[in-house]
Structure 1
Amino acid sequence: MVNLITGPRGSGKTQQMIDLANEKVKTSSGNVVFIKRSHKDTYSVDFNIRVIRMADYPDILTLEEFVGFLYGMAAGNHDIQAVFIDSILKQANITLESLPSFIQKLIKISSENNIDFYLSVSADKNEIPDIDSLECTVL
């Protein structure tokens, strides 16, 4: 399942993602991963959540490479149950225009590996192309 948290910059999406991740790790029998561009604003993430700073992986530059990174995580750890990706439009070269394609790839990863994805998007729901045709939930 792919879940989106949308809204303008500064509307509290990161804190909402952290709160959701902290709740998820309490009830999960598997691993929870939180992906961010930097470690800024992650001081309140539960210690049991694996935080990944994408700035540590500077060679992941494209949507395809980012998807490959996610497949690698899933292949390397079959216990991942949830992946939170904060500020998705700041990851690799993902844009509002390419977001539907990226979400379709996440839906495939999700169904193949039983992983729930949570993405924060700095845009209103109506700004995301084809959002109503995607099999995702806007929280």
Structure 2
Amino acid sequence: MDIVFLVARVLLAVIFLLSAVGHLTQSKGMAQYAASKGVPAAEAGVIASGLVFLLGGLSILLGIWTDLGALAIALTLIPVTFMMHPHWKETDAQAKQGEQIHFNKNLALIGGLLLLFYVTNQLQDIPVGITGPLFDRW
């Protein structure tokens, strides 16, 4: 079963590592889009979220304080989800549907990250990981 846990970590981490690359290499364009959504300090927010996605993604991928990486990304995604995908504000049906899909996707990712946080804190050793959990069973 360790391999299943590793594959799940890799798949989850890849989403955030690819997103981090986009945030950090295309920050100007992403910041313009975020600013159009009303995000304050959009460029700083894009870079900061990119760094969280990069460090958190590496943490999950490598199994280094996986719980911290998962929690950091989840806490970052909560405000991002509400600021960037407010489907309730859209009047165009197609735009509304697209925003709702992204909103729901982010909710699922937050749920998965919180589940990873919980599970890694229940285990003594993270399967195929470098370290154990940082918070170690609050």
Q: TM-score per shorter chain, which class?
A: under 0.3
When Rg is computed on C-alpha atoms for both structures, the one with the higher figure is 2
What's the TM-score once normalised by structure 1's chain length? 0.25
Q: Per residue, is there more strand in 1 or in 2?
A: 1
Greater RCO, 1 or 2 (C-alpha within 8 Å, sep 6+)? 1
